[in-house]
Structure 1
Amino acid sequence: MADLEARSFFGVDVNTLEQSRVTCNRSVVLILQYSVSPLANISFLLFIAFIVLTVICFARFGGRIPEEAVHMRVPLAPDRKPLLGAAHSREASGSYSRDEQGPVKAVRGGEFIGNRMRFKVKVLNESDYTITDVRVFLISYPAESLKLVTDHDDASHSKIEPSGFRSPTFDFLPTHDCAQGEIRAGVSYIDRKGQPHTLSAKPFAIRSVCDLPIQNQIDPKEFALRLRKLECGEIVVKVTDWTPEEMYEKALRIVEDANFYEVESSTKTADGVIHARISGLAKGKYTGKSDAVELYVTGPFGKEGASCKI
């Protein structure tokens, strides 16, 4: 009788309290089995007290925790304060990658074109979604032997569609007889969830290049004789958005930028078709080996669409 009165004093159902006591005892036994050190025992005892308090609250308040308990706050110890920005730092560090197996890749390449070093970075989007705010930027290059002649050291693209790519280029001029070192570039973009990512292309190593071309003055007759002694190949380039006049002007500039001596250049029109010819000669600064070029540009007069045989 006294036991029932004591239980009714707390407003607890007898069966509910009995079930809670059995559950609590099982929890205590289970927890003590995993206690292996004095320090751990203290932690487990605190945890046991929390379980007992929870059981009483469940039985007394029908599973509802009192409002004053909800607003309780346990202050953090001074040496346990969270590090501001730690979570963001971990996330940011995880987005930096050189893994070429990812959905977005950055590959690079370069070559000497005449007296210029042309460096290219190709960004491939092999994911299933469009990436935006794509930026390709130079990280470092051997400034002691190369001068950047492109207007900017970065290139931006608003987006790259799935299976698409962008290939910005950067041009350098050697400032010394020999150019060597590494060019490093990076790529940043925003994914479909609005998360930023940054990856870097593998460094492009410039081998020691010392035999740069210089102009070799020669008259057209001697050029024709020299040309017969050189090994040669032939390629044809066709364009649809240039007139033959535009292609001819661009070809003249390319020959000049490549540091070739312009031996001869001429144009003529027959039956509404332009026929243009450019020839140039250069030689290695140190080896003295000759490099010759001949370009033939043809196309309808004043209309877009031209071909260039090199």
Structure 2
Amino acid sequence: MFSCKKCNEPLFIRNAEMKDRILTLETQCLNGHKSARRVSDHNLQEMGPEIFKKMFICLYCGSNMSLVETRLQGSKVEGLFLCPKHGVEKREFPEFLLSTIEITASEVDSPRSIIDSFRCPQCGLIYAVHEMEKRGGLIEIDTRCANGHRAQRFLPETIDPPLLKRILQRVVHCDKCGLPGHIANVEGRGNIIRVQAACPVHGITRKDIPQAFLDLLKEAVSEIPEDAVLQSTLISRECRQPLAIRAIEDTKSAYRLKCVCPGKKDSTDLILPLTWNEPVAERITRAILTCDECGHLTHILSKRKSSKKVNFQIICPIHGVMQREAPPTIFNIVSDYEEKIDRLPSIVRSLSCEKCNMPLALRDVEERRGLIEFDVECRNGHRGKRLFRPGLDTETLVDLYKRFYQCPECYEQLDLVYVEPGAREDRVVQLCSIHGKFVFDIPPDHARAMQIAYDELQADKSKPPAEAPEPESPITLEVEAEPIISAESGVKVMRGCEIVGGKFDYKVKVLNNSGYVITNVTVSIVAYPLDCLELAGENVKSISRIEVGGFRSPQFTFYPSKDCVQGKVVATVSYIDFLDQLHTISVEPYLIRSVCDLLQPTKKTSQAFDLILTGLEKTQQEQDLDWNAKVLFTKAEMILPTKNFHVVDTEEHILAGEFIGTIRGYAEGKYTKNKVAVVIMICGPENGRHSVIKVEALGEDISMLPTTIDELADTMDSWVCLRCGAPLEPEQVEEIGRRLPIRCKYCTHTLTIALYLQ
């Protein structure tokens, strides 16, 4: 009802008017197409709240608007709605709807639109506030992004204080670079105050805001994190990845940070005055221990001190040794905070193949040139090295070796046969029940870690999986760093259904893009229409494991027990991740709605068909289509057999330039043998592109008729081959639109645009 007929985009309400107990809605889509929709009085009670949410949508950008004022004008109300991007927009509606509109206003998520409006649409950067002014019950804001793009934003004066504080935090952000600063000075000038915002890079910027916001501004600035400047600085503007620090130099007034972007490999120098506190020290430590190539966290390998600087090496598991340089005081800070950093996620990500993203299996471990070298190989035969520093703590080694208790051939968990101490290296023997034993000669501390890892894995088997809580995503205006892996991460679940030979094959596809192997995957059918479908087999399918980047598609088969099938299939997917936590995903319900696929065409003569119609229930639907009537008649002749109806007879004639055609079809249900008949009547100008089609459905079971009409009506407005009735592909429709001939892939008939535009 609320979709544009021209572009199929959603429609939103411009005005509403009640006349003769019918509410007429003036609507418009975001492409500017205007139309009208009508709702009867008695349907407003049920549909009202959902309908009037469409009145709160800006017609220029699609943002949610706030209701700021209502003005009574006789029997009508003029509502003033505020878009954060385009300002005030007027809407008119009847007076009796005022209470409904006000209730709907409390349900609209306008704060989300306000937050989203402070991101530059041209470059994606966050706007800084340059000037604020109260005017006419609104707050007008002049904003600028770091790339120089300007925009006006509008807020209601009744905005919630927490949201206003987030906006006011942008006052102390620099217009040139976007970095957060602090308030250097405040000058009072009547109702307007001038705030001197100090940027750590570009110095003082003067900004004017209303006097009433001063206290809230100071409170908002005090809530900015201490490391906000550093956090914003150590993010690449181009790819939004965290920067890695290669060297730090201590100048008299500030620190020079020599950085590189792991994503773009671009180098940049930053000069920042740093106030050392715990958040700043932790962020500097993470940046200086970040790999230049992949962004993984590393370990400090060795160091060489002098009076003015410390040269030290870090070791990345994938890319090896890298050089770092820092003053002695900063190196001491980095050394203190290094132990607090959790490197396990980086280590786990490094245990996937760089070429195919498959998990790596251990082939050998040896100490060489002062490094612990892991010889690894994935299932596709890609071999590589993973490098670690000697003397890793036992906890890290145990977490590391837990990932290697999998057979490289079948990925089943390996058994630890024994650990035998040796002179320089200990011998460890692992066993796969299918592929035999694996022997490793490794350093003693690694052998002990393998023993502990095995014991913990065995102990974990007796523990029930823990339910993983779903964290709530916080609302923030700050730009968050994106992960280096650009592909969609996580476990994705998709579903689909097809009708094959009178049965419904329902599949659930589980795609593992999480970066880790998932195990104990269970797909369960929770609900389905029991009155018309029967499930063949169990309602639960189990999968032992799904590799990184892999997928599985278990299938469930349903057999219909009635000729009319309608209902939703609901399923869930659960799995255990690499931390042994249980996750459950609800699969989007799939609506099964079918009649025509469960019919059998039955031949009848015209006389017998007329006799059958006398005792059948009847329903009908009429619709206007932008098709030529004769073309639509030809389509209907082709479509009915594809919907399992036997065409009983057809009739067509032209009167005074008007085409009138009738097609009658008959079928019976496969299971109940219920009779179903359809009568399609088409009329319209002989040479025009507008026609009216009326579909009558008649049957013994009235529950089958609405679905039958819907299936036929949906197909009538589609593009099909005019010879065999097969549907055309979207690419073929585009080619026809460009006036190119196409060939039906089912009957090889050549089709042109002229056939459809008679």
TM class by shorter chain equals 0.3 to 0.5
Using CA pairs under 8 Å that are at least 6 residues apart, name the structure with larger relative contact order, 1 or 2. Answer: 1
Indicate the structure (1 or 2) with the bigger Cα radius of gyration. 1
Q: Please, what TM-score do these two structures have when normalized by structure 1?
A: 0.42
Q: Please, what TM-score do these two structures have when normalized by structure 2?
A: 0.19
Relative to total residues, which structure has the larger helix share, 1 or 2? 1
